[in-house]
Amino acid sequence: MRKIIALVAVLLITTSIFNTVYAQSTTVSFSGDKTTWRGFDRYDFLMDTLSLEITPFKAVEGEGFGINAEVKGKVRCLVVVPKTAAVGNPWSWRGFYWDHEPQSEVELLKKGFFIGYINCDAGRQWDAWYAFLTKEHGFSKKPAFGGMSRGAINAYAWSVNHPDQVSCIYADNAAIMPESLAKIAELARYDVPLLSICGSEDFLYEKNTLPIENIYLQMGGRMTILVKEGTAHHPHSLQNPTPIVDWVVTNVASASKPSPLPGFIDDSFTKSYYYNPQNSYLYLKEENTWMTARGPGYTPYYEQYKVKSKSRYGVSSMVIIVPNKPAPGKPWVFRSDRMDRNALVDQALLAKGYHIVITPITTQSGAVMEQWNEIYKMLTDHGFSKKPVLEGSGVNAGECIAWTMENPEKVSAIYAVNPVMRSLMTKKNLFEGLIPIGKAGVPLLIVSGSQDPWFKEHTMVIDQQYKKLGGKLKLIVKEGQGHFITADPEVIVKGIVRTEPTRP
């Protein structure tokens, strides 16, 4: 709960900054007759379906806030104008179903956003509408999209073909076409965050939203999901749209002014994100139901940088996960394992300001000593601690032992899970390698399952030999567990932090 409160506070601060910095008058004029939409000026247009010419149009009496009348050979379009436009002219582009559950658009107008709409499916008319608003009227070149059901089809269809022209997408009980789903990774690659609001009983949730989430997680994109318990396809949106509006405002601000890259990152890296897709359960007062929430905004997330791989086989490359607030002295974990989304120990270390550096696996050889040496030099040359924590499980723990036995003065501690004393990095005997590690006073922190098949011949032998050498070793045995175990991150992190050299 504390994490959620802290994250909500960050959103509120970001929104406040947006209001302070962006809420300045910017003149955008439209010709033609204006009407009123929910207290704001509305301008209507007609677009010729063939020539794509856009001309002013007066809304038909009796339409109210909606669009009911069509004109043959034309497409209805409209713009709603805020009282005071925010700097940069941010705007939200509704994908379809104009004026249905409009509460988030109303609140965005109050924050200086324009609202744009074109009453057709995505295609060349959408391209013309985008050009009309951005080139002729100075709207931001990266609109925020909002799409409900079929509207999400349009938002995704246009965005996957123009990923560099999108700030974020809010999709509500979303549908998506197969051809758009096949390109959804492009949005992650261009760092387009997604927000999906769904009913737990929505017929589109399982076949549309969850596949998008799966791809986004694989690609390292940012996707936040809010699932309303016991709700079907209708009603869309939230009665209190604050979570939607704050999310849009935050991500539009980020898209307009991206954060600077860390000093150790260059063109050889690609950026993505790492976070645990754990669920939170939050109460929706207005709907009188509970909502499952997961993704950025409801769990901590971190920038992740991966070295570009030239291999056609997708060889594993070095990955650096950056804490949101690096600790003094830039402590880091030199991790031999691949890292899944449930790495609770590493997530706890990220929260404490540690960088997580995941070593590459080469095409043929596995772990290579020279590569690890190069990574160590590159990071320490950029001010990282000269004594990282090494981490590995199974045979990856063996690789940590192999590197440390050659570089004992460069390691603050080794954290090993069910260690297996084998290595592709060296042909030397790893048990004998414990001698220089013990002489250098490197602490070992080992967590093993009592039923692990390597427990007696590896973990217990390490324990006995290292203690004979006078080395510092803490062994945590998980009774009844095997090779795949559940560790207590709080205990592990306390043990690792205690081994850190004194920080300046």
Residue pLDDT, tens place only, 247-269: 999 999 999 988 899 999 999 99
* Residue 2 scores a pLDDT above 70: no
- Lowest model confidence (mean pLDDT) among 24-33, 150-159, 194-203, 390-399: 24-33
Extract the tokens encoding 281: 């359960």
Window from 339-348, 361-370, 384-393 with minimum mean pLDDT: 361-370
Kindly tell me if the per-residue pLDDT of 403 is higher than 80.
Answer: yes
Pair 430, 401: CB distance under 8 Å: yes
Please name the helix (run of DSSP H) or strand (run of DSSP E) that holds residue 289, with its range, or none: strand 289-294
Contacts within 8 Å (CB) and 24+ apart, 483-490:
483/394, 483/418, 483/449, 483/452, 483/453, 483/454, 484/449, 485/417, 485/418, 485/447, 485/448, 485/449, 485/452, 487/344, 487/345, 487/417, 487/447, 489/344, 489/345, 489/347, 489/348, 490/348
What's the confidence (pLDDT) of residue 259? 87
Q: 50: helix, coil or strand?
A: coil
Pairing label, strands 301-307, 289-294: unpaired
Distance between CA 144 and CA 236 in Å, rounded? 18
Share of the chain above pLDDT 90, in %: 87
| 231-244: average pLDDT | 97
List the single range of 259-268, 325-334, 363-372 with lowest mean pLDDT: 363-372
pLDDT for 258 equals: 87
Strand partners, 368: none
Least confident of 37-51, 133-147, 163-177, 302-316: 302-316
State residue 29's pLDDT score.
85
At residue 312, does pLDDT exceed 90? no
Q: Which two tokens stand for residue 467?
A: 């203690």
pLDDT at 273: 98
Place of tokens 């051809």: 179
Mean pLDDT of the chain: 92
Contact 23, 84 (CB under 8 A): yes
Please list, in sequence order, all residues whose beta carbon lies within 8 angstroms of the beta carbon of residue 212, skipping any fewer than 6 positions away: 174, 176, 181, 184, 194, 196, 223
Q: 339: closest CA among 356, 315, 362?
A: 356
**pLDDT category, 60, cuts 50, 70, 90?**
confident
Quick check: 30 and 43 in contact, CB under 8 A? Answer: yes
The torsion defined by the Cα of 296, 300, 303 and 307, in degrees rounded to 10, comes to -100
> Which residue type does 494 have?
K
Residue 15 has pLDDT above 70, yes or no: no
pTM of the model: 0.91
**Which tokens in the block code for residue 306?**
């991966």
- What is the structure's pLDDT at 6? 41
- CA distances to 446, 473, 484 from 477, rounded to whole Å, are 8, 13, 13
Instruction: Give the CB-side neighbour count of residue 27, counting CA atoms within 13 A.
Output: 1
Q: Which two tokens stand for residue 176?
A: 């998506």
pLDDT at 499 over 80: no
Which residues is 56 bridged to in the sheet? Answer: 45
**How high is the pLDDT of residue 1?**
41
As a whole number, mean pLDDT of residues 171-198 equals: 98
For residues 493 and 489, give the distance between their C-alpha atoms in angstroms, rounded to a whole number. Answer: 6
Q: Do the Cβ atoms of 157 and 183 come closer than 8 Å?
A: no
